[in-house]
Structure 1
């Protein structure tokens, strides 16, 4: 029986844009596991598996329900040890926690500041109302104000990627010559940007952009199955 993966979607059910869901999608492909996607809009998340989690991704594997992208990756490695590893051992698992912490403190907030209105615009009317109310309450500003002058923030964001750029100058993936879950962690927010917004951020010649293109091509170009925003 295929694993069921609940993924966040926009107005179009095929527009799967969540960075955390993409981590899991590539993890499943990396492990060679069969899965089926269940698109879920923001306002339907409370209905997933009887309210199993306030956020997605969530997977159902037989009678097991697991939420949270990192916990799902740990579950997949523990449950399917004969399939390719996601962490390369305990040390890799702990280092992936660092990569996750760095990504969520550096990449995610910077991209959200530039793309939040574009994300709003790809949602259904009901989800737009929820998204605007919740984000404006949390941030204290209208979405339109948050993205004002976003072009001026790109340079600082690109500079913040220098540790990643330096690493990728000597290898194909964060995991080395082949990808690991750490790659999927960082791929997630860039795929989020690619699917949700046409705003250009990464120069083509940037080593980070070249790595991202390699990640898009992984597993029969899984990342390209959802088109980039026009």
Structure 2
């Protein structure tokens, strides 16, 4: 690793083998937006704890070790997308993420609500559509322990229309927030971390598959404002 290069830990997936899950999307978008030099180290789920446990204290919640994580140029390990964003903002302040804007926390709250609403769907669809074989046993075992039932049973009992009906008000709230200002972003013409938070939702929904993405867009009440935001952040999604 060069003296100025970061290492970014991301989650492996099937071809095309790119970022897929929202929290790593936030970090990748920030790294690219700020033009920071980094390399990506892809991990399967069973590899996360062995890779990080000797360098970081565990989370107090499940799971104990998570992706994204980074190694800074001076060898410091960090975990979780928001602390990573705050660190990168402090070390690379331009262009700004505008983390002090109230819209960041507002959109973050919508992120949590949306992900919670659609969890009964994606917990079963992610292993079917995205994960490599090396991560499947870990996913099924840990998610069953987390939700108290198999992911198949979770989707059967709480997914489908029920989950989308719960997600729809959240998506429409995001739509209203985007339409409050002139411009593509939550702050109008100014891009901020809020756009990367919601961009991570859109990129994740798109990666699950066209059926899922189209349903999400339909539930927004105005798909175009979300597509406009997605297209605006996509150059930093490589």
TM-score range (shorter-chain normalised) is 0.7 to 0.9
Matches of 2:195 and 2:127 in 1, distance apart?
27
121-130 vs 18-27, greater mean Cα deviation = 121-130
Matches of 2:31 and 2:195 in 1, distance apart?
14
Give the count of matched residue pairs: 219
Please report the RMSD computed on the Cα atoms of aligned residues, expressed in angstroms.
2.5
Regions of 4+ moved over 6 Å: none
Relative to the length of structure 1, the TM-score reads: 0.82
Secondary structure of the corresponding residue to residue 202 of structure 1? helix
Relative to the length of structure 2, the TM-score reads: 0.80
Alignment of 1:76-155 (within 5 A): 76-81=88-93, 83-87=94-98, 90=100, 92=101, 95-104=103-112, 106-121=113-128, 122-148=130-156, 150-155=160-165
Secondary structure of the corresponding residue to residue 216 of structure 2? coil
Give, in angstroms, the shift of residue 23 of structure 1: 0.5
Contact 2:110/2:170, CA 8 A, preserved across alignment: no
Give, in angstroms, the shift of residue 145 of structure 1: 1.9
- Show the counterpart of 1:43: 46
- Show the counterpart of 1:168: 178
- Show the counterpart of 2:62: none
Secondary structure of the corresponding residue to residue 199 of structure 1? helix
Contact 1:7/1:56, CA 8 A, preserved across alignment: yes
Matches of 2:144 and 2:219 in 1, distance apart?
35
Contact 2:33/2:236, CA 8 A, preserved across alignment: no
Matches of 1:46 and 1:205 in 2, distance apart?
37
Matches of 1:97 and 1:22 in 2, distance apart?
17
1:185 aligns to 2:182 (yes or no): no
Contact 1:43/1:130, CA 8 A, preserved across alignment: yes
- Show the counterpart of 2:236: 222
